Each structure stands twice: as structure tokens, then as C-alpha cells.
């Protein structure tokens, strides 16, 4: 796909990786619909990007997602691409047992991450695909997974969601190819964003050292991989690992 003049929706675009993707794709001539939770921050992000508009939407809420995609279609008259990037972390152990005391991960802690990181991807992917199919012009859907999709200590909820995202990417490639829709996923390693800035300093330093390259990745390196999936017309249904060689 030639990115120039295409309309691309990016969720979680007010900051971090989503904002870097928005800037990168806009530099290649895309018109960007930035979707995020907070009105001020998404509009602030949009004000920095030409040919863009900010939208407030919780990707885990079905009616909000349906409405926002309808609105984006009306505003831009088409939808050519989607990057399912919005995501949250609520790390914790499945069970913690110390001095005879048992603490269990609550269903709410598990479910809230599944709601945003898995159901949110399903809802936005479904709406984007519906609009692309109706337009008859095809499109590209990129889902942001994680190195944690293999299963990671303290991330039962996050790992499960990020593995599911890759499975949906493959299923959609098979189902949607006849409508000229391609899919792809990216599994980033540890990247410098506010999400990883929340990590304790010791864990942050260890994460950087886990890569053979001995550093965190940059948001621009992830944005470049997103752009690659959009531009390469023979990529579909696969996950690209952008992790500096890190294994967890």
C-alpha cells in the first residue's frame, strides 16, 4: 500500500508508540485519526500532526468503538488502515503465597487487561474491516502484540492477551484476504515509553541488558516496522519481532 493520502486509524495514539506511529505515517503523507481515552491529550497530540483529527474512545466499549469508526468514516470519507496499539499493564502473580497467606490475582485484574488488550483489538478490527469491506477498496490492519506473548513472569493477563492478538492476526488474514485486506502484527521488546518508565529502576536496567544490543528500543523503530507492514503487499497474517534479539 502506498501510504500517501491514505486514512489510518491509530488507537492509543495520544502518546508513546501510538504517537510515534502517527508522526511517522503522517510524514509519509497519511491522514491520521488518533483515538485515545483523554480528550485533552489526544487533541494535543493531533495538534502536532498535520492532516489529523483526535477522537475520544475507550476501545473496550463496543458502542463507543462502533460510533467512533462511523464518525471517522464520515469525517475522512474512507478508512484504509488501522493500528491496534492501545494497551495497558496490570502485572501481578497468579498467586502469591507467603507465611501461610495466599493472595490471588483477582478476576478483575485479569479481565481488565483482556478487555482493553484483546477485546479492544477485536472490536476495532471488526469495525475497521466492516468499513474497508463496504468501501471495496481493501486495507491493512496492524496489531501490536508483545515479546510477552510467549508467556512472561507476572503477566498472566498481559501475556494471554498479547498471544491472542497474534492468533487473531492470522485468522483475519485468512478471512479477509478475499476483500483485499492484509494484516500483520508486531511484537516489540522493551521500548522507551511511559509504559516502561513505570518499571522499577532495577527492572528497567535489567530489561535493557536482556537485549544482545544492550539497550531499549525507540518508538521510532516500532513505527518504522508498522510502516513496513503497510507498504509491503506480500506481508499478511504474520508477526514481526522488533526486540533487539531479546528472549524472555
Report CA 117 to chain centroid distance, whole Å. 8
| 188 forms part of the interface with ligand NAP (CB under 6 A) | yes
76-103 b/e with 16+ CB inside 10 Å = b? beebbbbbbbbbbbbbbeeeeeeeeeee
Q: Smallest distance from the beta carbon of 235 to ligand NAP, in angstroms?
A: 19
* 8 Å CB contact between 46 and 26: no
Which of 143, 142, 117, 146 has its CA nearest to residue 243?
Answer: 146
Please report, as residue ranges, which positions from 46 to 105 form the binding site for ligand NAP (by CB under 6 A).
Answer: 58-60, 85-88
Which residue number, 139 or 244, has a Cβ lying nearer to ligand NAP?
Answer: 244
Binding-site member from 7, 8, 9, 16 for ligand NAP (CB under 6 A): 16
Report the chain's C-alpha Rg in angstroms.
Answer: 18
How far CA 217 is from CA of 170, 175, 203, 210, in Å, comes to: 25, 33, 15, 12
Q: Smallest distance from the beta carbon of 224 to ligand NAP, in angstroms?
A: 14
What cell does 131 get? 468499513
Rounded CA gap, 227 and 89, in Å?
A: 25
Please report, as residue ranges, which positions from 202 to 221 form the binding site for ligand NAP (by CB under 6 A).
Answer: none
Binding-site member from 8, 18, 33, 119 for ligand NAP (CB under 6 A): 18
| 40 forms part of the interface with ligand NAP (CB under 6 A) | no
- Contact letters (x/-) for ligand NAP, 116-155, by CB under 6 A? x---x-----------------------x-x---------
Which residue number, 83 or 140, has a Cβ lying nearer to ligand NAP?
Answer: 83
Catalytic residues: 158
* Residues near ligand NAP, by CB under 6 A: 11-12, 14-18, 36-38, 58-60, 85-88, 116, 120, 144, 146, 188, 190-191, 193-196
Amino acid at each position: 500500500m502506498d501510504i500517501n493520502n491514505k486514512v489510518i486509524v491509530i488507537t492509543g495514539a495520544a502518546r508513546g508508540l501510538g504517537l510515534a506511529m502517527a508522526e511517522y505515517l503522517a510524514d509519509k503523507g497519511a491522514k491520521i485519526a488518533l483515538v485515545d481515552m483523554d480528550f485533552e491529550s489526544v487533541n494535543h497530540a493531533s495538534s502536532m500532526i498535520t492532516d489529523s483529527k483526535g477522537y475520544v474512545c475507550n476501545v473496550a466499549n463496543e458502542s463507543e468503538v462502533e460510533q467512533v469508526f462511523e464518525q471517522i468514516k464520515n469525517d475522512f470519507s474512507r478508512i484504509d488502515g488501522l493500528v491496534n496499539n492501545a494497551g495497558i499493564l496490570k502485572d501481578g502473580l497468579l498467586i502469591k503465597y507467603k507465611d501461610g497467606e495466599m493472595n490471588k490475582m483477582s478476576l478483575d485484574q485479569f479481565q481488565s487487561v483482556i478487555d482493553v488488550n484483546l477485546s479492544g483489538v477485536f472490536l476495532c478490527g471488526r469495525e475497521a474491516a466492516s468499513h474497508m469491506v463496504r468501501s471495496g477498496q481493501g486495507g491493512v490492519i496492524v496489531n501490536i502484540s508483545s515479546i510477552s506473548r510467549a508467556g512472561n513472569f507476572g503477566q498472566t493477563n498481559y501475556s494471554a492477551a498479547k498471544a491472542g492478538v497474534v492468533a487473531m492476526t492470522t485468522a483475519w488474514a485468512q478471512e479477509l484476504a478475499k476483500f483485499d485486506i492484509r494484516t500483520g502484527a508486531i511484537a516489540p521488546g522493551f521500548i522507551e515509553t511511559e509504559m516502561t518508565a513505570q518499571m522499577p529502576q532495577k527492572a528497567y536496567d535489567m530489561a535493557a541488558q536482556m537485549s544482545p544490543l544492550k539497550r531499549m528500543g525507540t518508538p521510532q523503530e516500532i513505527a518504522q516496522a508498522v510502516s513496513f507492514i503497510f507498504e509491503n503487499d506480500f506481508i499478511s497474517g504474520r508477526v514481526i519481532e522488533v526486540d533487539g534479539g531479546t528472549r524472555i
